[in-house]
Amino acid sequence: YISDNLLIPILDFFYGLVPSYGLAIVALTLVIRVALYPLSAGSIRSARRMRIAQPVIQKRQAEIKSRYADDIQKQQQELGKVMKEFGSPLAGCLPLLVQMPILFALFATLRGSPFADVPYTINVKVLPAEQIAAVEPKPFNSASHSIFIGETDHVPVIASLPRGNKIGVGDSASINLHTKDGRSFADVLQGAEDPSRFAPSWSLSKGDDVLSVSADGTITALAEGDATVEAKIPGLAARSGFLFIKALGQVGFYADGAINWDIAILVGSFGVTLFLSQLLSGMGMPANPQQATANKITPFMITGMFLFFPLPAGVLLYMVIANIFQGLQTFILTKEALPENLQTILDQQKAQQTVTATATSAGTVSDSRLPFEPKGGK
């Protein structure tokens, strides 16, 4: 719903201004990120404040629980005062939860038409002929996907089996591709400039010995079992390039015995921008060795995963742009003044770490002398 009624119209608007799907992805990403700026800023502010206050909160909570171990009501009152003073650690979660549906919809939009080929997956169960008679037919409908048949011309298309996805051995059924209002996809394609360009391809990803599927989407049950039919409609811009990207719908770092260097560059850029964003989130904060280690390891782990995770190039482009925007937003918010109580705590933490570092350095120098070596100079 969000994709069809919010994101795709914005996409159409930007493509109308600049006829480039790559630029449309960049513009769509920036518009959504700017619109969600207040929500994501709330999460970043909360995380920054909790990072400073967490040690004090934990210490206060331990003291309160120890002091009022026999008085649960008093304990809850005092813990409530601590939360009121510093805020709840969960305060940053609500803005994050509110924006997640839109970000998921944006992610899904860029994985579909026009940027990538759109798959429709239909799971079919084949039953013995004597059992199928007792099964009540229930129409099966797949999820709807907006299919672009022109630069700004798109229709929501559904795959359906009118009598359901349970059939008997020896029976046949036709999988219909149609719009929400009942028009067949074949009729919709009559208005396309090149209808054959969007002709669906049919295949079986599971159950070759259970089911067969013809080029027009007719399935025939061969034997009992489960099978998965996939109809794939080509994306209008799936093979369109942008800058160094060969095809926005291209998937995979390594394919057909060759390295896709454009995918490699996008994945590497994602890792670098994620790393920089995490570094920026720690600006002005007291040193935290555990957090610093996590900030170094996490980008490498996620980047390594995306080298082999099947994401279209258009989605990776969105992720890189989103990381850059997130890094800039984090940098801006780290310059904001903290509440007075948190600034006092932060100054104390920095002063303590300076004293600790100085003492450690002095101890290291002392420990580096041999037992018989004099402590003074020569």
- Distance, in Å, from the CA atom of 284 to the CA atom of 35, rounded to the nearest integer, reads 27
- Distance, in Å, from the CA atom of 286 to the CA atom of 274, rounded to the nearest integer, reads 21
Which phi and psi (to 5°) does residue 191 adopt? -90, 0
Q: What is the pLDDT of residue 90?
A: 61
Question: How many CB atoms are closer than 10 A to CB 3?
Answer: 22
Q: Which residues of 124-141 are buried (b: 16+ CB within 10 A; e: fewer)?
A: bbbbeeeebeeeeeeebe
- Distance, in Å, from the CA atom of 353 to the CA atom of 46, rounded to the nearest integer, reads 23
Q: Output the DSSP codes for 188-249.
A: HHTTSSSGGGG--EEEEEE-TTTEEE-TTSEEEE-SSEEEEEEEEEPPTTTT--BTTBS-TT
For residue 128 the two structure tokens come to: 């013995």
Long-range (24+ apart) CB contacts under 8 A made by 283-291 are: 283/331, 283/334, 284/334, 284/346, 285/48, 285/51, 285/52, 285/346, 286/52, 286/346, 286/349, 286/350, 286/353, 287/353, 288/51, 291/51
Helices marked H in 146-212 — which ranges? 185-189
Q: What is the pLDDT of residue 254?
A: 64
Measured in residues, the chain has a length of: 378
For residue 27 the two structure tokens come to: 């513009």
For residue 255 the two structure tokens come to: 């394919």
DSSP 76: H
Q: What is the pTM of this model?
A: 0.64
For residue 345 the two structure tokens come to: 């705590």
List residues bridging with 236 in a β-sheet.
none
- Distance, in Å, from the CA atom of 147 to the CA atom of 235, rounded to the nearest integer, reads 8
Q: What is the pLDDT of residue 371?
A: 46
Q: What is the pLDDT of residue 256?
A: 65
Q: Are the beta carbons of 137 and 117 closer than 8 angstroms? A: no
In tens digits, the chain (378 residues) has pLDDT values of 777 777 888 888 888 787 888 888 888 888 888 887 887 777 777 777 777 777 777 777 777 777 777 777 777 777 777 777 666 656 556 666 777 787 788 777 777 778 778 888 888 888 887 787 777 878 888 888 888 877 777 888 888 888 888 888 888 888 888 888 888 888 888 877 777 888 888 888 888 888 888 888 888 888 888 888 898 888 877 777 778 887 777 777 666 667 777 778 888 888 888 888 777 776 656 655 566 666 667 777 777 777 777 777 888 888 888 888 888 888 887 776 766 666 676 666 666 766 665 665 555 544 444 444 455 544
Owner of token pair 């305060």: 91
Angle in degrees, CA 264, 270, 273, rounded to 5: 135
Q: What is the pLDDT of residue 373?
A: 47
Q: What is the pLDDT of residue 378?
A: 43
